[in-house]
Structure 1
Amino acid sequence: MAASNYSLKVNRELLDLNFESYRLSLDAIPTYNIELDAAVEEVQLKDTHYTLEHMRAFGMYNYLHRDPWYEDSVLFVDCKGRVLNLTVTLDTALGKPREVYRMAEPGQCQDRLCASLSLTSATWAALSDGGGRLQLLRTGKRGDGAHAKWEPLFTEDMGQPFTILHSVSHVQPGVQAGVHTVEVLLLHLQKDPQDSKGSGYSVCLEWVTVANAAGPGEERKYAVRKRRVLRGKSVPHYAAVAPQGKGLMLASDKPFIFTHVDGIPVEQPEPEPMEVEKTDPIYFWQQTEEDVTVCVRMPEGVTRDDVQFQLTADHLSLGLQGFPPLLEGQLYASVDPDASAWVFKDQKSLELMLQKRSEGPVWPELVMGDRRGEFVMSDEQAALLHERLTHLTSEDLNGNPDKDKPPCNSQELEDCDGFPEDSSSLTHFDGETLRPTQVVNLGSHQFLFTVDVDPAEMPCLCLRHDVDALVWQPRPDRPGHMWEHVATFNALGYVQASKRDRKFATCAPDFSFASLCECLRRCFLYRQPSPLETQLVNRKQGRQVGQVAKQQVASLDSDRPILGFRASSERLFVLTASNLFVLKVNNN
């Protein structure tokens, strides 16, 4: 796995440092209930499949799909093998979901999964029957109101059951101009006989390229042109193919590597040493519970006027005028810029004092992904650490001084109890070399959800930064700025962590609101701050409040588990086994 070589650059203009909280609004959300003619096809996991990775991949699958090309249009598959579509134009005149395609009877499959659907383009879709069969369907323009049936132009048995994670469609340029190509990303879990300590399964991603024949009159003949296989040990939080099939992007707790191309094993490169030659650190740093002290070596003859220094709550830039920055990037945690300062020390080094915004947490690194510094631990810190870890090396089985508590038996731990050996990362793989080009160490940035915003772009990913939730738009055509911060949901990172029964999360494509749903019945809506008609006054601080962010709660009239959850700019769609609920959120 490549070392982290990139950091996410937060757009400070999209952060609201004065945000206080969400105000609970008792305004009712208009909710419309559509009873389904047949139940949604929900596949229950078998007892042998109740590993953590099976639950992440299939037990938490979102059965509802929003069409990003057509507003307020959703699709799902029912138990009869029908692909059903509901397009809302008027809430008070909702009809039944209409059938757009019916799958053939699936064959006997012992480990059958749920059917999955990916809308490839405005006129194409990829469909899995859950039994191992992949179909590419020409749908026509789905949003023109026509009731044309979808036409299958490619069907192939991929050998084992899978779900579709993502797909894109494009036309080849250059020599193969006019060749229509579909890139499909598949996920399945395989028994791993070499895994003696984990769950016994490995996660397999298969990147399949399907294209039509280039000859005249053969435009309707589609075949698999290339198959690439990646393997890892955790189900990715995010996985998508770049436009034109030029790359692949993954966010996962553990690394993935390409193992096969068209059935031929990929020669794995020799692991590169982290340091080719021993170099002296360019800075040293220490920390306490309250602050961080950094000492940066400076060239001879440097004066204060030569120093260029910029510090925000979570970003540091330090360098000399006319030269690239010596130290630049996102800080591991937030600091207070007003309480931080720097001074020259003996004209040979610069000493920087950073005041932590939150006391207590220990920073494992100063700047995310920067390995050119050396952490220096004081004698007091070493003694305290030794005291805290003494019980781990005690000869007594129960080193815990609380004798009433039983000792911990590591053999009783489940997969979900262990701390991941590899830190969570966001990786971009080049489509030609299959090598990682940009790697972001996500660290404490918890992954929240994926959302389709612009159908011409890759899906966005939402990460927790401190208490906020930040939405990032991948830009694979901009190597220097591959992930762009496009929206912020204030305090959503903190809010979602308090929802113990949370199942799905999403947001509107125009970022006007974010929403969470629980496993049963309840949905929570968090609106962006909006101006007030009359200004309010904060009694504690004595300042005027010009805008308020609202929280709303909707309780569905159903006792069935929520199986699907999607949002458009105006509506929320909630799917259960027997009902499809439409919640009117905005009246634009």
Structure 2
Amino acid sequence: MAAPNYSLKTNRELLDPNFESYRLSLDAIPTYNVELDAAVEEVKLKDSQYTLEHMRAFGMYNYLHLDPWYEDSVVFVDCKGRVLSLTVTLDTVLGKPKEVFCIATDATRHEDCLCASLSFTSATWAALSDGAGRLYLLRTSQRGQSTHCKWEPLFSEDMGEPFVVLHSTAHVQAGIHTMEVLLLRILKDAQEATGSGFSVSLEWITVANTAGPGLEKNYKVTKRRVLRGKSVPHYAAVTPRGDGLMVASEKPFVFTDVDGRPIKQPSMEAMEVEETADPFYFWQQTVEDITASVRIPEGITKEAIRFRLTADNISVGVQGFPPLLEGQLYASVDPEASTWTFREDKSLELTLQKRTEGPVWPELVIGDRKGEHVMSDEQAALIHEKLTHLTSEDLHAANSDRDKPACNSQELEDCDGFPEDTSSLTHFDGESFKPTQVVNLGSHQYLFTVDVNPTEMPCLCLRHDVDALLWQPRPDQPADMWEHVATFNALGYVQASKRDKKFATCAPNFSYASLCECLRRAFIYRQPSPVDGVLFNRKQGRQVGQVAKQQVASLDSEKSILGFRASNERLYILTAAHIFVLKVNNN
């Protein structure tokens, strides 16, 4: 059965329809740098790694990692396999990065080895890949302390083909310390007869302390699940409790096996039968109300009916059975003016009074596909009348100049275009391995991922029209699983015009967003702030109360930018030979 489709609900209070533009500010950004003792080696793609998915997964990897629990610290791995940590206490006196762990170099490295990758699992743990197929889980102690302690590996295992760590999280399950790690691989697919011949693999690994109380810790892999898809995910993260997974990608992912046992995929015939099953309910609507008829199992009396209705939610069921109709209504209704009636033909008839008359509902319950909308003749005639003016038998009826085409696609700018593939954001249940909520992203182009609150899932930033909207996943709120928490005005349009853009990010407190190019330059876009003095818009003749500033920073380096991270106060930029620290905000 297909997962219910959901939509992202924007918070209009976070949108600014009057935003004009960014004003270039010439204010200097204090910039400091540290020269590295050993270079950070950029791992180049091999001849066998020739696909676009290899480039997306490994060729654009961010080598710098900001510690979300301690924003003054960044971590990276140099060419000697040393994991180095730089903690900034005073910008003008930057110390040297200190070694906290070293990857074993005596192991035989795979010829298609990847860059080392890191994910901060908790305030005291981190997951590390050596790029050759080995996974480390490291106990780091309190990383925010002034004294640097060596990280202790409490788990180390060869996981097979080389991978990068996308995400990791830790939780306590039944009193057992458990860690969830998400790995990304691109594998040769022998069964793929068309296309590139490669498939994208996500492996979700659970590692738990199997030692008994009071015994020495013994961490082992307790569960392995594999998903396959045809495109590198833009976003992938495990829920904080380890009971689900969220993936945003151009092409869908499906679970293929658990602990080495294949998961049987539903046949096309079974899917067709399920799609053509009789609806659970039928519904009609007028400009004033909704009428629905819900099928009831045989032998049910009126006393067994369970009905609950609020302004925004409905639940219809029978005692002892799962709800027949449940969820968030498409729009608000008036519960006091709504009724239900039990019919002898074993159906329940609902009449819901719309709180706002006029708008047509495309669905009764958001994401529910168990019902069928029956359109009345009156409603069909009304829709036809409203759309008549949009159609014509004459191609040029609305075009006074018949020598010109009715629409010229060349008038669109490059940054107005979107990929042809339709992306989706999916939540998978960790027990059934099936998608429970799916959001069709459509033209909402993915921009970047950022950790806002380390105890929650990473946020993802999407383009909505010209703006960039930041979405915080809320897996504990199934009816409203993605919350709009911040807006960066016009950033969606601005970033699309940067042809040399490599990385994008924002401050965890949303005070600014930033883009960087492959070489030297970084762009900072600040949120609107009150102006000093009086400023007028000459064209409109009105006073301007706030101005959004844009700043440009140029690095004194000819090396490629390999890493790019933002804290509330600073931008951290990594090249092969230096770490640059840009003081963007003051406390």
Q: TM-score, normalised by structure 2?
A: 0.79
2:120 alignment counterpart: 119
Distance in 1 between residues matched to 2:288 and 2:537, nearest whole Å: 47
Q: What residue number does 1:91 align with?
A: 91
Number of the residue aligned with 1:245 = 242
Amino acid at match of 1:101: F
Q: Is the 8 A contact 2:290 2:353 kept in 1?
A: no
The answer to whether 1:327 aligns with 2:324 is no
Going from structure 1 to structure 2, the CA distance change for 1:548 and 1:267 (only over 3 Å counts) comes to same
Alpha-carbon offset, residue 163 of structure 1: 0.3
Letter in 2 for 1:150: W
Q: Does 1:212 align with 2:246?
A: no
Aligned to 1:232: 229
- Residues 134 and 376 (structure 1), Cα distance of their counterparts in 2 relative to 1, 3 Å cut: farther
In structure 2, what residue type is equivalent to 1:160?
Answer: E
Summarize the Cα distance change of 1:244–1:379 in structure 2 as closer, same or farther, 3 Å threshold.
Answer: closer
Tell me, in whole angstroms, the C-alpha distance in 1 between the residues paired with 2:471 and 2:385: 27
Give the direction of change, closer, same or farther, for the CA distance of 1:531–1:159 in structure 2 (3 Å limit): same
Amino acid at match of 1:43: V
Rounded to whole Å, the distance in 1 between the matches of 2:483 and 2:290 is 35
Contact 1:503 1:518 in 2 (8 A): yes
Residue number in structure 1 paired with 2:434: 435
Equivalent position amino acid for 2:488 in 1: F
Rounded to whole Å, the distance in 1 between the matches of 2:377 and 2:236 is 51
Residue in 2 aligned with 1:138?
A: 139
* Residues 347, 109 of structure 1: alpha-carbon distance in 2 compared, 3 angstrom cutoff: closer
CA contact (8 A) 2:288 2:353 kept: no
Report the counterpart of residue 7 of structure 2 in structure 1. Answer: 7
Residue 193 (structure 1) aligns with:
190
| Partner-residue secondary structure (3-state), 1:56 | helix
Q: 1:463 to 1:150 in 2, by over 3 A?
A: same
CA distance in 2, matches of 1:222, 1:4: 37
Q: Does 1:171 align with 2:167?
A: no
SS in 1 for 2:112: coil
Paired with 1:7 and 1:119, the residues of 2 have a C-alpha distance of: 30
> Shift of the alpha carbon at 1:213?
1.5
Name the CA distance, whole Å, in 1 between partners of 2:276 and 2:535.
Answer: 58
CA offset at residue 41 of structure 1? 2.9
In the TM superposition, what are the counterparts of 1:413-428 in structure 2 within 5 Å?
419-420=420-421, 423-428=422-427
In structure 1, what is the equivalent of residue 371 of structure 2? none
Aligned equivalent of 1:492: 491
Judge conservation of contact 2:289–2:353 (CA < 8 Å) in 1.
Answer: no
User: What one-letter code is carried by the residue in structure 2 that aligns with 1:130?
Assistant: G
1:73 has 2:70 as partner: no
In structure 2, how many angstroms separate the alpha carbons of the residues matched to 1:229 and 1:446?
26
Residue number in structure 2 paired with 1:404 = none
Contact 1:7 1:440 in 2 (8 A): yes
- Provide the rounded CA distance (Å) in 2 between the counterparts of 1:494 and 1:124: 38
Find the aligned partners of 2:362 and 2:76 in 1 and give their Cα distance: 47
Q: Deviations over 1:123-177 (max 9, x none)?
A: 000000000000100000000112210000000000110000000011113xxx2
Identity %: 69
Q: Distance in 1 between matches of 2:130 and 2:157?
A: 11
Closer, same or farther: CA 47–296 of 1 in aligned 2, 3 Å: farther
Letter in 2 for 1:528: Q
Instruction: Determine the C-alpha separation between the residues in 2 that align with 1:93 and 1:37.
Output: 17
Closer, same or farther: CA 259–297 of 1 in aligned 2, 3 Å:
farther
Tell me how far apart the structure 2 counterparts of residues 377 and 200 of structure 1 sit (CA, whole Å): 49
Task: Name the CA distance, whole Å, in 1 between partners of 2:394 and 2:449.
Answer: 42
Runs ≥4 in structure 1, deviation > 4 angstroms? 272-275, 277-283, 295-300, 316-321, 345-355, 375-379, 381-384
Contact in 2 for aligned 1:65/1:75 (Cα 8 Å)? yes
Partner of 2:162: 161
Q: Structure 1: how far apart are the matches of 2:111 and 2:580?
A: 33
Q: Could you say which residue in structure 1 is the equivalent of 2:451?
A: 452
SS class of match (2:53): helix
Q: Is the contact between residue 231 and residue 259 of structure 1 (CA under 8 Å) also seen in structure 2?
A: yes
CA distance in 1 between counterparts of 2:4 and 2:442 reads 11
Whether 1:575 aligns to 2:574 is: yes
SS in 1 for 2:540: coil
Cα distance in 1, alignment partners of residues 91 and 103 from structure 2: 29
CA distance in 2, matches of 1:449, 1:455: 16
Aligned partner of 1:305 in structure 2 is: none
The equivalent of 2:506 in structure 1 is 507
Contact 2:529–2:548 (CA under 8 A) maintained in structure 1: yes
The aligned residue for residue 528 of structure 1 is: 527
Scaled by the length of structure 1, the TM-score of the pair is 0.79
| SS state at 1:49 partner | coil
Matched residue, 2:584: 585
Unpaired runs of at least 5, structure 1 = 284-294, 301-307, 309-315, 330-344, 356-374, 385-416
Question: After alignment, is 26-35 or 521-530 more displaced?
Answer: 26-35
Deviation at 1:351, TM superposition (A): 4.7
Would you say the 8 A contact 2:3–2:437 is kept in 1? no
CA-to-aligned-CA distance 1:285-315 (integer Å, 9 cap, x gap): xxxxxxxxxx979779xxxxxxx9xxxxxxx
Q: Which amino acid aligns with 1:498?
A: S
AA partner of residue 57 (structure 2): A
Aligned to 2:256: 259
Q: Per-residue CA shift, 1:325-364, capped at 9, x if unaligned?
A: 66168xxxxxxxxxxxxxxx99767957999xxxxxxxxx
Matched, 1:478 2:477: yes
Distance 1:159 1:47 in 2: 21
User: SS of 2:92's equivalent?
Assistant: helix
